[in-house]
Chain A
Amino acid sequence: MVLFSELFISELKGDPVLDRLQEPVGRVQDYVIAVGEVFPKVTGLLVRVYDKNEDMVLLMGEIDLVGKQFVVTKTVRDRIVYTKPRPDELLLWRDLMDKQIVDTEGARVIRVNDLKLGKIGQDVRLIAADVGVRGLLRRLGGLDLFDTVLGVFGKKVPDTLIGWDHVEQLKTGRVKGMITVPTKHVSEMHPADIANIISQVHSEEKTAIFASLSDKTAAESLHELEPKIQALLLMTVDTKKALGVLEKMPVDELADVLGDIPPERAEELLRLMKPRKAAQVRKVLAHPEETAGGLMTTEFVTIPRSLTVEQTIERMRSMAPDAETIYYLYVTDESGKLAGVLSLRTMIVSPPRTVISDIMVKDVISVAPEMNQRQVAEVVSKYNLLAVPVVDKEDRMLGIVTVDDVIDFILPPISRRIRHMLG
């Protein structure tokens, strides 16, 4: 029988365990829980047994009463059946207290100050994590004092609980092979939120979370992270996963990331990548990072000026999946020079048989590959462009710089996850 509706485990540690004749048996050290359910069930208590002078597990089946101040067993002292603690068991105090967890609702990493147990049916279950000041004060032993003082003003120390259904547990610091809840929650979050979580957890956990994401989600999250963490992830994750993720990234982001990791690893990954993509990445990498050439992507759509609107739309169906933006179509002349640009909108509203060269804008705003990224940002911002083409001296197109690559220079750099700028 459970004699409470809910309580915090910091109030329980060290409680005496008595047998049915009120004889002392031992003291409660920790709580064994079963994973797998949303609110994990407490299956037993880890008890320091006085007779044996060691910690043994007392399963809930052996227990008659669980109260706030004491625990009473079903049988007399000598007939209690204990089990030996297994190393892969999950213990509340040892494995969760003071550790970091992910609050999947608030998309943040947070520390457990206390854990709340509740009576659900006849079971004792873990229902919430206390992550606020109240939990801290309870642990320090000053909660009553603070509540009394604040009570004078008609207030109390605020309670910050996160229901266990919104908690994702981290794996670091646990014994190898221990059962863990699959990281379903985190992988369902927005890539920017995942990046935020990754940037806040310990390095091993960074790799673990990253590896558990789908290639596509991983690629999107990777782009949101600061270069140092990108490098760390690509260095620690296994090569197969790294390649899978890189395949999903656009060429410009790929070049960006590979430019920040040690050259040997970058070269290794480039060699293993699909040759076509690798060649495009190398092209971008040949330009300095802070110039238009280093920012550009080589995935864009060009069309010869002699095509009609109808033919162009047909052609785009086959080309577009690879292109970073299809809102602008770049038009080339017979010698491959950039002759004009056409918005998707103009093309769709034009009659099918119109020739492209009749409707395109001939005066194209373009930049040289050597142009500094700040100037590129100015051009994009001045002409309100979604993308600007990069051309060589002969006016041949090398790539495009899209607005998201230079947005940091237009807006203050708040979007990147800058955490420890030190170190």
Chain B
Amino acid sequence: MRSHRFRRWWLFLAILGPGVISAIAGNDAGGTATYSVAGARFGFEMLWILFLVGIALVVIQEMCSRMGAVTGKGLSDLIREEFGVRWTLFAMLVLLVANIAVTISEFAGIAASLEIFGITRYLSVPVMVAVIWFLMTRGTYRGIERVFIAMCFIYFSYIFSGFLARPDWGMAVRHTFVPSFQLDINFVLLAIAMVGTTITPWMQFYLQSSVVEKGIKIKQYRYYKWDVIIGSIVAVVIAFFIIIACAAVLHPRGIVVHEAKEAALALKPFAGGYAAALFAVGLFASSTLGASILPLSSSYAICEAFGWENGISKKFGEAPIFYSLYTGLILLGGGVVLLPNIHLIDIMLFSQTTNGVLFPFILIFMLMLVNNKRLMGEHTNSQANNLIAWAVALVLIIMTGLLLIASFNGKIA
């Protein structure tokens, strides 16, 4: 038996299931920026939000992958088949806007990380736009993806840094479980961004179609479920330590993170003089991963919903809308970053807030689908799941409302 061949393949999958991979890739430019800024500006005060978001993440990701396992269909397929053309158009516009925002933030991450090495964004961004476009359409991406994922493990160094920074653990634990709220516009903005960066619209589409692609059926699902749950926990634990490290290192010194290299200082307790380089490599890898996956998965989702030809194995003439969407998204993402007077960290935060504002719409579609007995049979949501998911949607809508009121009052900072 060719045992070594089997072992390699299955070991890789066993450790890095899609749940864990998407969790690691989820700590992208926007995530890093949001968590860093949260820790730097508000210390431990936002940890309780992360704790609640973590619970919601587990519930929602599980729901989404269960839907894939039971129906064998992707989220955009289900929305189209159950809600018809008009609602599909609405959902796809929401997804498109959210994904454009995230793509922009990924390119901002690429620009910011390479600027730490002194490479100007006017060089790095156009080059990376071209590199990503070719990698993805020429089908050589698979091998390189693993390299990028491996590089993303750099984020685990936040855990060491978090310990070495000797934070006040008593405070940290208290703020994780005891909510404290500030009626500050920046606090609300950042809170929405924190939900939006942890539970993203695109992740739901991506995760569900990868469950479908793998052909996971409900029988194997009870094992697979753990991949999703562990992945979510890993993502939240890393986010937790990013906040801890930033709260312990940056917050006392009054550094509010205007530049990526300021965020990098949080790794200093662990990496010393190499902190900036380590941070930049991690940020570069996760941003590139995101910038590669997002435009493509958005194009797939949209084309599948409307029944347009899609797939990178097709030629441009066979799938014109697919390629136009894909190319347009990448160019737009890279292009916005090159606009004059653009502030990279602000873009990353803004895009995550956009995600948080738009996510409830997608979540409501998901909830209606997952509770449809004809589709899900006996695997519809439990009441506890529904309660948590509806609460997330409601809280996000209320916070968006607060934000609107505050900005009309001219209080926006």
**Which A residues have a C-beta under 8 Å from some C-beta of B?**
97-100, 108, 110-113, 131, 136, 139-140, 172-173, 200, 202-206, 228, 232, 235-236, 255, 259-260, 262-263, 266-267, 282, 285-289, 294, 413-414, 416-423
* A202-B73, A232-B215, A417-B313 known; A262 vs B10 contact (CB < 8 Å): yes
Distance in Å: Cβ of A35 to nearest Cβ of chain B: 20
Asked if A422 contacts B296 (CB within 8 A), the reply is yes
Asked if B210 contacts A422 (CB within 8 A), the reply is yes
B309 to chain A: which residues have CB within 8 Å? Answer: 108
Distance in Å: Cβ of B361 to nearest Cβ of chain A: 18
A414 to chain B: which residues have CB within 8 Å? Answer: 313
Between-chain CB contacts (< 8 Å), 30 pairs: A98-B81, A98-B84, A100-B77, A110-B307, A111-B80, A111-B306, A140-B85, A203-B72, A203-B215, A228-B213, A235-B215, A236-B215, A260-B9, A262-B6, A262-B10, A263-B10, A282-B1, A287-B2, A288-B5, A289-B2, A294-B5, A418-B139, A418-B311, A418-B312, A420-B209, A422-B210, A422-B293, A422-B300, A423-B18, A423-B213
Q: Is B185 an interface residue (CB 8 A)?
A: no
Distance in Å: Cβ of A230 to nearest Cβ of chain B: 11
* A111-B306, A267-B1 known; A140 vs B86 contact (CB < 8 Å): yes
Asked if B311 contacts A419 (CB within 8 A), the reply is yes
For the complex of A and B, the 10 pairs showing the least CB-CB separation, nearest first, are: A111-B307, A423-B210, A232-B215, A139-B85, A285-B2, A203-B72, A263-B6, A204-B72, A203-B215, A418-B313
Asked if A140 contacts B10 (CB within 8 A), the reply is no
Name the residue of chain A whose CB is nearest to the CB of B81: A98
B10 to chain A: which residues have CB within 8 Å? Answer: 262-263
A203 to chain B: which residues have CB within 8 Å? Answer: 72, 212-213, 215, 217
Asked if B300 contacts A420 (CB within 8 A), the reply is yes
B18 to chain A: which residues have CB within 8 Å? Answer: 423
A416 to B313, CA, bound (A): 8
A200 to B4, CA, bound (A): 32
Asked if B84 contacts A139 (CB within 8 A), the reply is yes
As a 0/1 sequence over residues 184 to 219 of chain B, the CB contacts with chain A under 8 angstroms (1 = contact) are 000000000000000000000010011011110100
**Which of A97, A131, A419 counts the most chain B CB atoms within 10 A?**
A419
- Given B2, B81, B296, which contacts A259 in the complex, CB threshold below 8 Å? B2
Q: Is B182 an interface residue (CB 8 A)?
A: no
A136 to chain B: which residues have CB within 8 Å? Answer: 85, 306
Known: A228-B213, A418-B139. 16 other contacts (CB 8 A): A98-B81, A111-B306, A112-B307, A136-B85, A203-B215, A203-B217, A259-B2, A259-B5, A414-B313, A416-B313, A418-B312, A419-B311, A419-B313, A420-B311, A422-B297, A423-B18
A202 to B211, CA, bound (A): 11
As a 0/1 sequence over residues 86 to 118 of chain B, the CB contacts with chain A under 8 angstroms (1 = contact) are 100100000000000000000000000000000
Name the residue of chain A whose CB is nearest to the CB of B85: A139
Q: Name the prevailing secondary structure of the B interface residues.
A: helix
Asked if B80 contacts A98 (CB within 8 A), the reply is yes
Asked if A421 contacts B84 (CB within 8 A), the reply is no
Name the residue of chain A whose CB is nearest to the CB of B138: A412
- Given B4, B214, B311, B375, which contacts A423 in the complex, CB threshold below 8 Å? B214
A235 to B216, CA, bound (A): 10
Distance in Å: Cβ of A325 to nearest Cβ of chain B: 24
> How many B residues touch A, CB cutoff 8 Å?
43
- Given A255, A288, A413, which contacts B4 in the complex, CB threshold below 8 Å? A288
A172 to B374, CA, bound (A): 12
B139 to chain A: which residues have CB within 8 Å? Answer: 413, 418, 421
Name the residue of chain B whose CB is nearest to the CB of A202: B72
Name the residue of chain A whose CB is nearest to the CB of B293: A422
Q: Is B222 an interface residue (CB 8 A)?
A: no
Name the residue of chain A whose CB is nearest to the CB of B310: A419
A286 to chain B: which residues have CB within 8 Å? Answer: 1-2
A282 to B1, CA, bound (A): 6
- Given A288, A417, A421, A422, which contacts B206 in the complex, CB threshold below 8 Å? A422
**Which of B139, B297, B307 counts the most chain A CB atoms within 10 A?**
B307
Q: Is B142 an interface residue (CB 8 A)?
A: yes
A232 to chain B: which residues have CB within 8 Å? Answer: 214-215
* A285-B1, A419-B311 known; A202 vs B212 contact (CB < 8 Å): yes
Q: Is B181 an interface residue (CB 8 A)?
A: no
Name the residue of chain B whose CB is nearest to the CB of A206: B215
A287 to chain B: which residues have CB within 8 Å? Answer: 2
B80 to chain A: which residues have CB within 8 Å? Answer: 98, 111
A236 to B18, CA, bound (A): 20
| CB interface residues, B 1-25, toward A, < 8 Å | 1-6, 9-10, 18
Q: Is B134 an interface residue (CB 8 A)?
A: no
A206 to chain B: which residues have CB within 8 Å? Answer: 215
Asked if B313 contacts A259 (CB within 8 A), the reply is no
Q: Is B141 an interface residue (CB 8 A)?
A: yes
A99 to B304, CA, bound (A): 11
B142 to chain A: which residues have CB within 8 Å? Answer: 421
| CB interface residues, B 60-87, toward A, < 8 Å | 71-73, 77, 80-81, 84-86
